Amino acid sequence: MSRFARFESRTLVRATLEMDTALSVGSRLSFKPTGTDLPVVKGPDGVPFIPGSSIKGVVRFQAERILRSADLGPDFRACDPFDDPCLSPNKGNSEKEPGETEAKYSERLWENSCTACRLFGSPWIGSRLLFKDASLRNAGDLAVVTQIRDGVGIDRDLGAAATNIKYDFETVVPGAQFDVEVIGENVELWELGFVTSIFRLWSEGHLAIGGKSTRGTGWGRLRDLVVQRVEKDEMIDYLVGGTMHPVSLDDLTGAFRSWIQSKQGASSA
Ligand SMILES: [Zn+2]
């Protein structure tokens, strides 16, 4: 049975992202096509929001860096999604085999997936972390919401300003606050401890959102991080109007630490 077919738990993570610097907005004024350089878009009402995919990109990028540098065995690793994905037709491990049951197939896909793909998804398995679009919560408190800036093209290889590549880009002003929300489906406590440890890096101002971070845009801090959860045995109460129970960040960190220790114990034994 698929990991999604059973209800094990649901987790809701909420936080506020407050920008220390400006945040680039996708705009027709830019010469660049849509992509990682344009982390913010405007809704039909003209109010900018951060697409969930932009937030997910920041968290996944950090998670993969940590997974690649830690040496904790096959249950804590990240593939290279472009050059060497954990599942691929080339490896012959992504297709359903003749006579294989749906349950066996999905279990095999899971077994062969790296930690990053198990959490954030791949073409073969769904993401168990759903990042919602983050809406601007304090437009009324800001004198202006967006500003147009002059940009100078940067040659990424030389790091030098490329000549004759001048363009305007739109930014959301510093001080903007966005409502961040992530829903975890059947995510284990140690996995949440891992993900919230990345949120802690963000709360200390160490992460930037968007491709212009080298020019000082996209830096912000997550604050007011709140985690709520409902387990399998609480599901019926929850469905008839109950609430999720709060989970402390210390408990999640503790679960992650215990899990790491069990892996270190196993590898040295
Ligand atoms: Zn992978």
- Interval between CA 138 and ligand 1 midpoint (Å): 37
**Residue 88, pLDDT above cutoff 90:** yes
pTM: 0.86
Cα of 234 vs centre of ligand 1, distance in Å, is: 32
For the chain, what percent of residues have pLDDT higher than 90?
A: 63
CA gap 207, 213 in Å, rounded: 9
Residue 242's pLDDT is 82
CA of 117 to the centre of ligand 1 (A): 4
What would the mean pLDDT of 175-180 be, rounded to a whole number? 97
How far, in Å, CA of 166 to CA of 70, rounded?
Answer: 41
110 C-alpha to center of ligand 1: Å? 10
Structure tokens at 68: 């690649």
Confidence of residue 146 (pLDDT cuts 50, 70, 90): confident
Residue 98's identity, in one-letter code, is P
Confidence of residue 170 (pLDDT cuts 50, 70, 90): confident
Ligand 1 midpoint to CA 69 (Å): 15
Burial of 14 (0-12, 13-18, 19+ CB in 10 A): middle
pLDDT digits (tens, 9 = 90+) for 7-58: 899 999 999 999 999 988 764 444 444 444 455 788 888 888 998 988 999 9
Task: Please state, in angstroms and rounded to a whole number, the distance separating the CA atoms of residues 260 and 182.
Answer: 24
Cα-to-centroid distance, 267 and ligand 1 (Å): 22
HSE (side-chain half, CA atoms, 13 Å) at 100: 15
Ligand 1 centroid–CA 214 distance in Å is 28
Question: What's the whole-number average pLDDT of the chain?
Answer: 86
Using the mean position of ligand 1's atoms as its centre, give its distance from the Cα of residue 88 in Å. 10
DSSP designation for 160: S
Ion ligand 1: residue ranges with CB closer than 5 A: 79, 86, 114, 117
- What's the pLDDT tens digit per position in 226-264? 999 999 999 888 989 888 999 999 999 999 999 999 988
Predicted pLDDT of residue 46:
82
> How many A from CA of 116 to the centre of ligand 1?
6
Residue spans of beta strands (DSSP E) within the chain: 9-19, 23-25, 41-42, 48-50, 129-131, 134-136, 146-154, 161-172, 177-185, 220-231, 245-247
